[in-house]
Structure 1
Amino acid sequence: MLHVDLDDFRSVNDTFGTAFGDEVLIAVADRIRDLTERHIEIGRVGVDEFLVVITGNDASLSFDTRLRRLAEELQRRIEQPLVVEGLELRLTASVGISRYPANARDGATLVRAADTALAASRREGRHQVRFFESSLDKRGRTGLALDRDLRLAAAQRNLQVYYQPIIDLQSGAVSGAEALVRWNHPEHGPIPPSIFIPDAEATGAISAISDMVVTTVAEDLAGWNQQNLLNAGSRIAINISATEFEQRGFVQRLAATLDNVGVLPSQLELEITETLLMRDVEVTAQRLSDLHELGFLVSLDDFGTGYSSLSHLHMLPLHTLKVDRCFVSELGDGRSETITRAILNLAQGLGIHTVGEGVETEEQRRFLIDGGCDSVQGFFYAPPLPRLAFEKFMQSHKPIAASATSSRSSL
């Protein structure tokens, strides 16, 4: 049994609507149906999920090979460009595979095993294929324990907030930082945000994490204000999840937290993604307007990787566009350079501040300077730092102005 899930299909529905999404699903189903061979049954079991049942004589290696080849062929068909209503989409799919009788003795257990394998493939990233193994059941139980531990860590403020410096390219001074949450589990050690943040969003623990991060950042800002560590106009960026952003009272809670410690809203920049922006444009626009009126700054993270319309950029009170690291890391490639220049020119035309993410080399820094980018962050300057290390960085950092030429670039 193959459990097939379209990766991040929710963003298609959120961006273009469910009617458009249904047309996409019909087209995908047609592609899967075209693969039908003898002894194969196909059915849709969720919004963006399909079950493919294939029969064979036993669970021999040849049968496993047949299953993997079928899964990979399904993925190849799904990832081919798809045109719906004049728009070209590129989808990917994750696949979980279970086998009878090796993994289950009845249909319901076989389905659960395929679902468990699918969950494991998702954890490994997009476009993966994973067979069910008995160890995955143990990992599932471990996942429940980790969810409990994560909620407890957030409630007891045992998560750590790190700060990656953001540098103004004209002056070379520290203009702020991005706050990033880290979790050092007492038993399992450091757990990457790429693992625990999606799980927290799925289970609802993200609200407790967001509250902890906002409170910690507000208290740190208050301390830095008292010590005069921050340059004028400095601000700390925090990532806001869709779950948190859409909750009733989100804006009021945020304002109250800052007011309690005496921090101005203008010292906080809220990062939202293109996917969040497009979920419900009218509701999002109203909430952004409320935040803007209170003095909060809003940035659009990972710009250029989603589906946002240029007309929305013109209408929404955005302060910053962040150029995604996937473009910055590929500077030197003509297409990435063209896209990066286009994003910077667009932002300049709209009067929107720009931040280049993931800057690691002098060549990348120089390209962004020449393109008119305002600020950057990345390992060229510093990795994400714990609070005390970030304070030392602010105290010791020697600005490299835009006009300065490094020894490397002059060689």
Structure 2
Amino acid sequence: MVINENLKNEIEERERLERLYQNLVEKMPAVSYVMNLEKEFSFTFVSPQIQVLTGWDPKDWIDIEDFRLKCIHPEDVHEFVEALKRSIKNHEPFHHEYRLIHRNGDVVWVEDFASPLLNGNNMVESYQGVILDITNRKKAEAELIYNAYHDVLTGLVNRAYLVERLNQILSRRHPFSEQPLFSLLFMDLDRFKIINDSLGHRIGDQLLIEAAHRLQNNLFPTSTLARFGGDEFVILVEGEDPRRDAVQLADQILLDFQSPFLLDGKTLFTTISLGLVIDNGEYTEPDEVLRDADIAMYRAKARGRACYEVFSKPLLDQVINRHQIEALLRDALKRNEFNLYYQPIVALKDGRVVGFEALIRWITPQHGLIQPSEFISLAEETGLIHQIDRWVMHEACRQVQQWYQYGLSSFPFTVSVNLSGSLLHQGNVVQMISEILAETGISPQSLKIELTESVFLETSPSVNQQIQNIRDLGIQLQIDDFGTGYSSLSYLQRFPITAIKIDRSFISRIDAQYSGTEIVQAIITLAKELGLEIIAEGIETVSQLHWLKEAGCDYGQGYLLYRPMDAESTEKLLRNIGKGDEVM
């Protein structure tokens, strides 16, 4: 009886443990299974969770031959079978990630862990394993990978993706091949910062998205468009003839960006500048390709924007030279290497000198005289123009006030200085000018400030207010190089302008027969109607001077009248004028 009682207790305990185990198997989130190799990958046991995971009844997994293989994604079957074969051969645990096809057609990612069970002959006869649903993890991983290689705003691939793609192309180059493997277009929206700053980042973002769509519409099937950040885009062109395709693409893009963008009811115009690199067989690193494309793009901007430039070796040499000049430029003010020259401005009706334009000159120990055309644009790019403009204005005002104190002014005269438009975006330009007037003691009426047309055409409310505040100080404002920008008659009335300076390129067209005068005559007529004074730049011939007098131009400057001169020579001129010895 004791034996029977013990046996009964043992059976009951075993049943309890089996129920506990079955409950555990049924409640755990993973699928547990037993697979017998004699049944060709079919299960001899599988937990009920398989139906939640795949939509198929556990009986289907057990009764239908090869059912497991039929539920694996077709692209993953081969790798699954090979991984299982390796496990069987080496008596190793099986671990593999693959996709199952749910009964409703959805794809389910799973991770499979199984331990081999050996028979008496030391051969694998079955597996006990668990299957985990890792779909959410795979989605998260895919999202991380996507974000690592894509731009959030536009959905385009990003710099990391393009650099990796370039690496792949360069790594497969045949050492003796002369056929270019790729071309690359580096693009930048023109004046995007002004749009972004004046209309807000929301409009700026919309513009970037629409620009991306416009660029995508032009792509060849073998091209890749990437956003590098800001307003920079890159197109990698592959295919049979990447040189031809890239040039064709550049022409089409320039044409497309002539059309306006309609954003939030606003019509906006922005052009695009492109730098083009054609594979020359010498590139080994993506950074080299991108460097040269960037150089070519900035060359296109320097040419006037809305065009493309093909990279060449001389462009790289120019950049290296510019870097050398930039290094010198940063210390030029400390080393006192800048000088001001003064070019007289003459009243054409009677030949009187009425003022001077202050012109900067830079003389270095290493390179001698460096022309303003070689360093002013560089100073603009680097932000050094702000220090230079302040020095020029302060030095010009100091010098003029000194001449007044010397008693050299038997007549009132003024000094004109150029002011960079970028200074107006700094917010403290009026304070800077006020400080200079106070420090030098010069009267505001003796100072004239010259601004280029682009300043008036690319304004914001804050810039407009600064322009008005400068005029309120009593300083006259002039438009320099009038006619060379995107002239619009409206801004001549909207801003407190007192004079316009006709660019020398128009004056140079006036010949001895007085041909080429139509544009100059139109400018003079317009200025007279608006009550503005007119100054002609670059007068170099007697016929030009005579025609301008007859046409009613108020003032002029140029080599025919006076060349720019240093402070000492200017002082001598003022003394002679005081004696009545100098009248044109």
**TM-score category (smaller protein):** 0.7 to 0.9
Matched, 1:204 2:386: no
Contact 1:319 1:352 survives alignment (8 Å)? yes
Q: Give the whole-Å Cα distance in 1 for the aligned partners of 2:409 and 2:272.
A: 44
Q: Which residue, 347, 366, 376 being the options, matches 2:546?
A: 366
Q: Which residue, 374, 399, 408 being the options, matches 2:583?
A: 399
Matched, 1:51 2:51: no
Contact 1:81 1:88 survives alignment (8 Å)? no
1:146 corresponds to: 325
Per the TM alignment, residue 144 of structure 1 is displaced from its structure 2 partner at its CA by 3.9
1:99 corresponds to: 279
Gaps of 5+ in 2: 1-182
Matched, 1:267 2:446: yes
Matched, 1:306 2:488: no
Contact 1:114 1:132 survives alignment (8 Å)? no
Q: Secondary structure at the match of 2:478?
A: strand
Structure having greater relative contact order (Cα 8 Å, sep ≥ 6):
1
Distance 1:225 1:74, change over 3 A: same
Per the TM alignment, residue 356 of structure 1 is displaced from its structure 2 partner at its CA by 0.9
Taking the TM superposition and a 5 Å limit, the aligned residue runs for 1:3-402 are 3-5=185-187, 9=191, 13=195, 34=218, 39-43=222-226, 45=228, 49-55=232-238, 67=243, 70-71=246-247, 74-75=250-251, 78=254, 82=258, 84=260, 93=273, 95-97=275-277, 99=279, 101-105=281-285, 107-119=286-298, 129-133=309-313, 136=316, 140=319, 143-230=322-409, 232-307=411-486, 309-331=488-510, 337-394=517-574, 395=576, 398-400=582-584
Contact 1:183 1:191 survives alignment (8 Å)? yes
| Per-residue Cα deviation, 1:193-242 (whole angstroms, up to 9, x for no partner) | 22211111111111111121112101210221123334633111101012
Q: Give the whole-Å Cα distance in 2 for the aligned partners of 1:307 and 1:24.
A: 23
1:407 corresponds to: none
| TM-score calculated relative to the size of structure 1 | 0.78
Q: Give the whole-Å Cα distance in 1 for the aligned partners of 2:210 and 2:236.
A: 19
Distance 1:293 1:121, change over 3 A: closer
Q: Secondary structure at the match of 2:395?
A: helix
Q: Give the whole-Å Cα distance in 2 for the aligned partners of 1:320 and 1:26.
A: 40
Q: Give the whole-Å Cα distance in 2 for the aligned partners of 1:134 and 1:358.
A: 31
Q: Give the whole-Å Cα distance in 1 for the aligned partners of 2:205 and 2:420.
A: 23
Per the TM alignment, residue 309 of structure 1 is displaced from its structure 2 partner at its CA by 4.1
Identity across matched positions, percent: 27
CA RMSD of aligned residues (A): 4.0
Q: Give the whole-Å Cα distance in 1 for the aligned partners of 2:572 and 2:376.
A: 28
Contact 1:357 1:376 survives alignment (8 Å)? yes
Contact 1:3 1:49 survives alignment (8 Å)? no
Contact 2:237 2:245 survives alignment (8 Å)? no
Gaps of 5+ in 1: 58-62, 401-411
Distance 1:297 1:46, change over 3 A: same
Per the TM alignment, residue 168 of structure 1 is displaced from its structure 2 partner at its CA by 0.8
Per the TM alignment, residue 284 of structure 1 is displaced from its structure 2 partner at its CA by 3.3
- Count of matched residue pairs: 390
Per the TM alignment, residue 146 of structure 1 is displaced from its structure 2 partner at its CA by 2.7
Contact 1:41 1:53 survives alignment (8 Å)? yes
Q: Give the whole-Å Cα distance in 2 for the aligned partners of 1:175 and 1:76.
A: 51
Q: Aligned letter for 2:234?
A: L
